[in-house]
Structure 1
Amino acid sequence: MGRVTLASLGPLGDELGSGGQGTVYALPESQSPSLVYKAYSEEMLTVLDTGVLAAMIEVPFSLSAQDRHELLAAAAWPRDIVTENDRVRGFTMALVPQRFHTTLKLLNDRPVRLGQAQLLLNPSDYLDRVELRIDDQFRLELLADVARTLRLFHRLGLTVGDMSPNNLIYSRTGKPRCHFIDCDAMQLNGRTVLPQVETTDWEVPAGGGVLGSKVSDTYKFALLCVRLFAGDQSTTDPSALLRAGPGIHALAIRALSGDAGDSPGLGTWEKHLRAARPILPKETVRVTVPSSPIRTTMPSPRTAVSRPSAAPAPVRPSLTRSRRRRLVKLVVLSLFLGYVASHTNQIESASRHVAESLFSDDDAAARAQADEIAAVLSSSAPVRDSVKSAVTNLAACANVKRSVTNLGAASSARQQSLTAANGLQITDLPNGAVMKDQLILAFTHSKAADDAYRSWGLKLSKQGCRKSTLNGPDRKRGDRESIVSTEAKQQFADLWNQIGPEYGHDQVSYQNI
């Protein structure tokens, strides 16, 4: 335990994920059935503190049996440093247990993927459509377990630092539980393996504590509470926590106030979360979280990108509520007209007036919903041109600083488009729910691509245009996210172009979304 050679791991398996730090590979099951290998990129190896990595690997062996069990249950913890020709190349870590994977319904596909908390930070109607159904009791129990786990980390001298829904995963099997990945990005007694970074929209503000401190962890935990109840990726409005009760709502207000000295501790959070009971509106129907295990065919320890599968073919228009109502009205109207056909012209004129009124409301509702989609599309088109220009410049190592600024602005604009897409109510349009899902996927992964390309640009500006930086992991991550976004845009455009012209809107190319 502690140090192994790369050759001793045997032939590396599939690439399970990659990010700004390196790439994760599966290992032969015959040799390492419960481990995976993380290979650091060449750039990260230049700033890697191997002494801290070795100290992190030793942490479990310095703990009591109970603490060691709890730590290894709550985190994909580093196990062995991996060397090649006496040079550190990466480390092995625990395989994420199967219970922390989840199944989503995406059109005709049901992919199994890592249960990253970012999947839960979406509106309830979207969660219902992908069959990721959770209720407020689940939210309370999951957050209580996150608070408990953070308290354990802090007691052991660990702080998460870059705490975000990307490195926090969940289980819906049995009692809600959390699990942390990217543990080598944590701090151990103030020391770090790699320089600390922050995820976009999860930055510590002035007064929110020093990054990598207990205070900053607690601030970001409060953000998680707010966003999990709000079903939103970036809000800081704590009003959604009123559903958890006034006590928890008050804790969030204090935690997000910017006054680190008044921020409630994690023990207080956990106590209130465990005692809370959801406050449900009268019209709310509670959905019980399934207790049966989630079946997976092939466990995947880590993924850097939440990649949905593209639909194999365009979806045919469905019969919406408004069209069903129109059909019923048409039948009634036909019977009425047949009855009065032999009567006076005055009655016939009145019948036509009735027909016009029957259809006008439905037409107006559908047209208004189409107008809302067109408005979202119109606002998103200029952003794509800006991103394309910025990425082209970065690839040529030209106008790097300006490109980084433009990509940051593009990411903010994508978030606005994502928020607008989440707010669409388009049930009166054919395949409205599917179109909304595809727009949400498109903007989610477009924003992730913008953020990855921006990180790439920042490294270019700091490290220069070396070959390893020009073709670094951030660029590759941006390319992968862009591909996923493009697939969703193509599916949306196929559906929209079938109905948009019917309501006076031009057809769109996926390249302009």
Structure 2
Amino acid sequence: MSAGDGADVARTSLRLRDRIGSGGQGDVHALADGSMLFKEYKDPSRVNGAALADLVEFRQSLGQADRNHLDSLAAWPLRRVVEGGRVLGFLMRRAPSEMTWRTAGGSTKLLELQYLIRPPKPAWQEVAQPTPEQRRALALACVEAVGWFHSAGLVIGDISQANVLWSLTPVTTVHFLDCDGFRRVGRAAVQAQAATPDWNDPLVPSTEATVDTDAYKTALVAARIVTRDPYVTPGKELDPVAGCLNDRQDAAVRGLFSQAAGVRGSRPRPSEWQTALSDRGTITLTAAAPRPRPAINHNVLDGARSRTPINLRAPGRRTDSGAL
């Protein structure tokens, strides 16, 4: 099965394997042909089917380049799954294989953000940890992704350690899960906003999701990656991993993180975090100095000059030839 034109799929047409995951709002099954995953809602009566259709249509409305970019960034809803007039769930792609890891026991797990923002533990020693430079690059990849979503007119809502994946190969990159929690600006949500403890904006209820709450959580994800501290919040002192940031980046990140503790509407936007975490730095421009005025020889202009009269012919006076 493929994403096709985004048309609805009947639940009875799906051949499923065993359940491979479960969350607060739904269970995830693999299709028998291995092509996609099916997220089935636990309580379909709470699902806004029109809002889910809106997310499917959003992807369909993109040009091919943007659609490919969205697919690289997110496990996006591709087609709704319906039965008897009810929306039961949706189809989505699997996470990229490079964003998984294999345990000592042989099972496969998703490479969630939690393995990046916490000190390594023996239970997941098989997870390769990034170098300090790769850690900065992953923080940059996260804020760039949030910036792209916002520029596309989307609100993310729940940004946390459980729904962002990461990889170091072939390049440092991230991938967002639970994308039915996204919504288009000004549109309804598919379900009540999910919330993750220690990742909520303290100035609003956990059920509220806006571009501004995304901005607060962007500060959390950027700071927690570069510090490897899962609990640091704006207003607290940052202690970045040694070698992760240069002096310019360190000063910029500290300033933005402090700013994120401010009132609503004052939080740094993703573009500001991109500049702070970029390895290109900033260029200070100075006004160009005006060209010097040429020297003037006043002796030539102001000295005595010989003036001779100019003879003007009177109007209507004839010449010797008789012509006027």
TM-score (norm 2): 0.76
Q: 1:417 maps to which residue?
A: none
CA distance in 2, matches of 1:99, 1:87: 35
> Any idea what the Cα deviations from partners look like across 1:184-203, whole Å, max 9, x if unmatched?
01122232000112101111
Per the TM alignment, residue 111 of structure 1 is displaced from its structure 2 partner at its CA by 3.8
CA contact (8 A) 1:147 1:270 kept: yes
State yes or no: 1:193 paired with 2:183: no
Tell me if the contact between 1:145 and 1:178 (Cα under 8 Å) persists in the aligned partners: yes
1: CA distance between counterparts of 2:164 and 2:224? Answer: 14
The SS at the match of 1:17 is strand
Partner of 1:21: 25
**2:315 matched to which residue of 1?**
none
Secondary structure at 2:240 match in 1? helix
2:119 maps to a residue whose letter is P
Residues 233-288 of structure 1: CA distance to partner in whole angstroms, max 9, x if unpaired?
A: 22223422385222212211112x232343221111112212279xxxxxxxxxxx
**1:151–1:239 distance in 2 versus 1, CA, 3 Å:** same
1:254-403 aligned at under 5 Å gives the runs 254-255=259-260, 257-275=261-279
1:213-228 aligned within 5 A = 213-228=210-225
Amino acid aligned to 1:224: V
From the superposition, tell whether residues 148 and 5 of structure 1 become closer, same or farther in structure 2 (CA, over 3 Å): same
- Bigger Cα displacement from structure 2, 124-133 vs 50-59: 124-133
Q: Structure 2 CA distance, aligned partners of 1:171 and 1:67?
A: 21
- The whole-number CA distance in structure 2 between the counterparts of 1:140 and 1:74 is 18
Amino acid at match of 1:76: A
Distance change in 2, residues 1:125/1:210 (3 Å) = closer
Identical-residue share of aligned pairs (%): 30
Q: 1:46 matched to which residue of 2?
A: 45
Partner amino acid for 1:37? F
- SS of aligned partner of 2:87: strand
Return the letter of the residue paired with 1:182. Answer: D
Alpha-carbon shift at residue 27 of structure 1 (Å): 0.4
CA contact (8 A) 1:241 1:249 kept: no
**Alpha-carbon spacing, 1:246–1:110, altered in 2? closer, same or farther (3 Å):** farther
Which of 112, 119, 124 aligns to 1:123? It is 119
TM-aligned CA distance change 1:209 to 1:216, over 3 Å: farther
Deviations 1:140-173 (A, max 9, x none): 1111111111111111121111111111111121
- Distance (whole Å) between structure 2 residues aligned to residue 215 and residue 192 of structure 1: 16
Q: How does 1:381-460 map to 2 (within 5 A)?
A: none
Instruction: Name the SS for the 2:21 alignment partner.
Output: strand
Q: How far apart, CA to CA, are the structure 2 residues paired with 1:167 and 1:39? A: 17
Does 1:144 pair with 2:145?
no
Counterpart secondary structure, 1:123 = coil
Alpha carbons of structure 1 residues 238 and 16: separation in structure 2 relative to 1, 3 Å:
farther
Which residue identity lines up with residue 150 of structure 2 in the other structure?
Answer: H
Change (3 A) 1:102 1:172: farther
Q: How far, CA to CA, are the matches of 2:191 and 2:206 in structure 1?
A: 20
TM score, norm. by length of structure 1: 0.49
Moved more, 236-245 or 66-75: 236-245
CA displacement, residues 45-89 of structure 1 (integer Å, 9 cap, x when unaligned)? 122110010111111121122211111111101111111233221
* Equivalent residue number for residue 171 of structure 1: 167
Q: Name the Cα RMSD after superposition.
A: 2.4
2:11–2:82: 8 Å Cα contact kept in structure 1?
yes
Amino acid at match of 1:171: S
CA distance, structure 2, for counterparts of residue 160 and residue 67 of structure 1: 17
Structure whose residues are more often helix by fraction? 1
Structure 1 15/52 Cα, relative in aligned 2: closer, same or farther at 3 Å? same
Look up the match of 2:200.
Answer: 203
Alignment partners' CA distance in 1, 2:113 and 2:119:
13
Match for 1:223: what amino acid?
L
Are the aligned partners of 1:164 and 1:202 in contact in 2 as well (CA < 8 Å)? yes
The structure richer in strand per residue is 2
After the TM superposition, which residues 60-71 of structure 1 pair with which residues of structure 2 at under 5 Å, given as runs? Answer: 60-71=59-70
Match of 1:239, SS? coil
Residue type of the partner of 2:267?
S
Q: Which runs of 5+ in 2 are unaligned?
A: 1-5, 282-324
Does the 8 Å contact 1:209/1:215 carry over to 2? no
3-state secondary structure, aligned to 2:82: strand
SS at match of 2:239: helix
How much has 1:97 moved relative to structure 2? Answer: 1.6
Secondary structure of the residue aligned to 1:192 is coil
Bigger Rg, which one = 2
Instruction: Work out the CA distance in 1 between the residues paired with 2:93 and 2:130.
Output: 27
Question: Secondary structure of 1:152's match?
Answer: helix
Q: Structure 2 CA distance, aligned partners of 1:240 and 1:252?
A: 12
Determine helix, strand or coil for the equivalent of 1:258: coil
Deviation at 1:225? 2.0
The CA distance in 2 between the partners of 1:118 and 1:232, in whole Å, is 10
1:36, distance to aligned residue in structure 2 (A) = 0.7
| Distance in 2, Cα, partners of 1:78 & 1:128 | 30
Tell me by how many angstroms 1:98 deviates: 0.8
Cα contact 2:112–2:162 (8 A) shared by 1: yes
